[in-house]
């Protein structure tokens, strides 16, 4: 064991949000080790938020142009340039990734281990040929695509979000397995750029974690530009004549259908990367899905070992992981410990239409036994929303009956991410009620009126039928 154990002040496993802590620790002169088995920058930079948004943004324009006929503009897209989009994507990702790698390699006081490390004891890890140890460790190793066990899928071959962005040409057709945000965003991109796209979702709803009203709108609108099949069980995949054939059956009727495409993209969910780390060897508790269990300070059951980001198994967003990293830095090396606050975690789905959401859903409130008021406002019932012809856009807000605290907000339509952000600030201000909004003048006509209007329309869902 003790042959050449390298000692550090801090070990960080994962170079996504973990790097926030690495730079702070290095500024303080600590001896730090970074362990990373993939490209620098983690999921967000290399195979998540950033490349997907560079793709989805031009695709969104294609959809807007197609929809402009509603308000009197008949236009056609001459052509889409996938190669330019690809170039713009890599022009951002590669310098960022390489810059991080350079910085890490140049820093003589920083140990860099580009390998899959695993625990060999309470505070020790095997990283390649080295044994490393620290009394303070941050697990920020993330999650990866979980590939379902479908007969024939492995033989037929497929893409995941890990290698989707490496595509050099767009296939003429694609089947996407899964009905979540990745399927919605990447499907919208593919179909807008001329790839015949089919989504096959297991759940009866598209975007099942959103409000049912939003799922319904997303399904209806997505079907205008893609073939979307929900409530399906994929039973078999085979290759035939240069194509992949996906056989699936309806979970209600049992009816079997098949679809052919040049390529398959698997977006059926994620799994924890903890299996690579063997946290059990260090005595670290994981849950039934292998995610690392942390307390309200983000510390595991082993003192000095913390976990942040996707590996804790919930709120899997880069902005949340960044917040975790600040919290953990403070709790490890600061004064009085600060508790994790998850009451207002926002997220967006950059599909078409766009979705923005924060806090609890109505269903979650019901499960928690909370007495709530629900407010709704359609974009079309505001002058600006009508002007934009946003027939499906709408805002739903949830507040506590007694205190008027905002518990959640859910928006679908143009600028949903920006609109929901206005509510996130209120949920973190003062008494967390909507009173500052009620007291404020709202620019007219603007889409913000859909948000203020939703709060003006609060009703008790128990005594009110729409």
d(CA 91, CA 74): 34
Domain ranges of the chain: 5-143+271-333, 153-268, 353-458
Identify whether the C-beta of residue 263 lies closer than 8 Å to the C-beta of residue 159: yes
Identify whether the C-beta of residue 185 lies closer than 8 Å to the C-beta of residue 56: yes
Cα angle value 153/155/157 (rounded, 5°): 70
Is the peptide bond preceding residue 445 cis, with omega within 30 degrees of 0? yes
**Amino acid 4: pLDDT:** 79
376: which 2 tokens? 């709704």
CATH dotted code for 153-268:
3.50.50.60
Residue 363: in which H helix or E strand, if any? helix 362-367
Is residue 465 over pLDDT 70? no
Using CA atoms, how far residue 267 sits from 172, 200, 284, 320, 321, in Å, is 19, 10, 29, 21, 21
**Amino acid 463: pLDDT:** 84
Q: What is the pLDDT of residues 37-63, one digit of tens each?
A: 999 999 999 999 999 999 999 999 999
Sheet holding 159-160, edge to edge: 159-160, 263-266, 173-177, 196-200, 227-229
Interhelix angle 49-67/181-192, rounded to 10 degrees, is 60
Is there a common fold for 5-143+271-333 and 153-268?
A: yes
453: which 2 tokens? 């209007």
Is residue 3 over pLDDT 80? no
Q: What is the pLDDT of residues 344-354, one digit of tens each?
A: 999 999 999 99
What's the CATH number of domain 353-458, 3.40.50.80, 3.30.390.30, 3.40.640.10, 3.20.20.70? 3.30.390.30
Q: What is the pLDDT of residues 276-310, one digit of tens each?
A: 999 999 999 999 999 999 999 999 999 999 999 99
**Amino acid 224: pLDDT:** 97
d(CA 189, CA 192): 5
Task: Spell out the CATH class of 5-143+271-333.
Answer: alpha beta
DSSP state of 210: S
Q: What is the pLDDT of residues 186-207, one digit of tens each?
A: 999 999 999 999 999 999 999 9
**Amino acid 255: pLDDT:** 98
Q: Give the closest residue to 61 by CA, choosing from 81, 44, 88, 86.
A: 81
387 Cβ partners below 8 Å, 6+ apart? 71, 445
Using CA atoms, how far residue 165 sits from 54, 59, 354, 374, in Å, is 11, 15, 21, 40
Identify whether the C-beta of residue 142 lies closer than 8 Å to the C-beta of residue 15: no
Is residue 2 over pLDDT 70? no
Question: Across all residues in the chain, what is the average pLDDT?
Answer: 97
Residue 57: in which H helix or E strand, if any? helix 49-67
Q: Give the closest residue to 14 by CA, choosing from 145, 162, 140, 144.
A: 140
């Amino acid at each position: 064991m003790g042959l050449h154990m390298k000692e550090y002040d801090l070990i960080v496993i994962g170079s996504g949000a973990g790097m926030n802590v690495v730079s702070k620790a290095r500024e303080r002169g600590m001896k730090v080790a970074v362990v990373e088995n993939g490209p620098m920058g983690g999921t967000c930079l290399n195979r998540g938020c950033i490349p997907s948004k560079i793709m989805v943004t031009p695709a969104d324009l294609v959809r807007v142009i197609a929809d402009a006929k509603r308000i009197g503009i008949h236009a056609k897209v001459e052509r889409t340039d996938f190669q330019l989009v690809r170039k713009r994507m890599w022009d951002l990702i590669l310098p960022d990734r390489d810059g991080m790698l350079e910085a890490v390699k140049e820093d003589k006081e920083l140990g860099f281990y580009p390998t899959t490390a695993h625990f060999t004891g309470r505070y020790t890890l095997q990283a390649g040929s080295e044994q490393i140890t620290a009394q303070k460790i941050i697990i920020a190793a993330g999650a990866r695509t979980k590939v379902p066990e479908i007969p024939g899928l492995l033989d037929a071959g497929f893409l995941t979000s890990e290698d989707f962005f490496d595509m050099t040409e767009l296939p003429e057709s694609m089947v996407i397995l899964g009905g979540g945000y990745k399927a919605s965003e990447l499907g919208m991109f593919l179909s807008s750029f001329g790839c015949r796209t089919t989504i096959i979702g297991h759940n009866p709803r598209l975007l099942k974690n959103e409000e049912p009203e939003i799922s319904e709108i997303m399904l209806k609108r997505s079907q205008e530009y893609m073939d979307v099949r929900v409530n399906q069980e994929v039973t078999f995949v085979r290759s035939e004549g240069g194509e992949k054939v996906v056989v699936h059956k309806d979970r209600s009727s049992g009816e079997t259908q098949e679809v052919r495409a040049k390529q398959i993209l698997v977006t059926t969910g994620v799994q924890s990367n903890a299996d690579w780390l063997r946290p059990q060897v260090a005595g670290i508790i994981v849950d039934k899905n292998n995610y690392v269990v942390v307390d309200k300070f983000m510390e595991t059951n082993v003192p000095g070992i913390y976990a942040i980001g996707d590996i804790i198994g919930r709120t899997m967003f880069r902005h949340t992981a960044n917040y975790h990293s600040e919290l953990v830095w403070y709790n490890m090396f600061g004064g009085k410990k600060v508790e994790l606050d998850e009451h207002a975690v926002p997220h967006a789905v950059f599909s078409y239409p766009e979705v923005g959401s924060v806090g609890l859903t109505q269903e979650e409130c019901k499960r928690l036994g909370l007495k709530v008021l629900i407010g709704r406002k359609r974009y079309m019932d505001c002058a600006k929303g009508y002007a934009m012809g946003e027939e499906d856009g709408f805002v739903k807000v949830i507040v506590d009956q007694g205190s008027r605290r905002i518990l959640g907000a859910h928006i679908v339509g143009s600028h949903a991410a920006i609109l929901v952000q206005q509510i996130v600030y209120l949920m973190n201000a003062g008494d967390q009620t909507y009173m500052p909004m009620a007291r404020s003048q709202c620019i007219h006509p603007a889409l913000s009126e859909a948000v203020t209007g939703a709060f003006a329309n609060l009703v008790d869902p128990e005594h009110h039928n729409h």
